[in-house]
Amino acid sequence: MLITKISPLSNKENTLEIGIHPAIYKHWNSKDPQDRILIQDMFPDISSSEREFLLTGITPTEWDEHFGSEEE
How far CA 6 is from CA of 10, 12, 63, in Å, comes to: 8, 5, 14
d(CA 34, CA 48): 23
pLDDT in tens, 5-15: 999 999 999 99
pLDDT in tens, 14-53: 999 999 999 989 888 877 767 678 899 999 999 999 999 9
Q: How many CA atoms lie within 13 A of 38 on its CB side?
A: 4
Check residue 68 and give its pLDDT. Answer: 83
Cα 55 to chain centroid distance, Å, stands at 4
